[in-house]
Amino acid sequence: MQINKRFFPEVLQENEAIYFSHLEGVICSVDELCSMEICKYPKGYFFRIAPSLPKYNQMLLEEILKLHNLFKIHLDLSKSIKSSGTINFNIQIN
């Protein structure tokens, strides 16, 4: 799995590192050849996940939602998942 992080500091906070490890584990369990881009902004994070094959879209989305529901994290999902072939979502930081 290829992960690109943009606009991140040199050292991650412990909570961020743990969250990203869990997210990577969930995504790799479904599609180990996909790629993920994470952008950090002052008010949150933007994620773009591109599966290696379109057949993994639904399974990835289900597992991502399960993980975030477990942690009680609200996601702002993109509406164009089927047409674009990628899963895009935001997480707002208060």
The domain limits of the chain are: 2-92
Question: What pLDDT was estimated at residue 83?
Answer: 81
pLDDT on residue 81: 82
Share of the chain above pLDDT 70, in %: 100
Predicted structure pTM score: 0.92
46 DSSP β-pair partners: 39, 90
Q: Compute the distance between CA of residue 26 and CA of residue 37 in angstroms, rounded to an integer.
A: 15
Residues 37-54: pLDDT tens digits? 999 999 999 999 999 999
CA distances from 71 to 5, 23, 68, 75, 86 (A): 22, 11, 5, 11, 23
Q: 2-92 belongs to which CATH class?
A: alpha beta
Residue 77 CB-density burial (10 A; 0-12 exposed, 13-18 middle, 19+ buried): middle
| Residue 59 to residue 27: CA distance in whole angstroms | 9
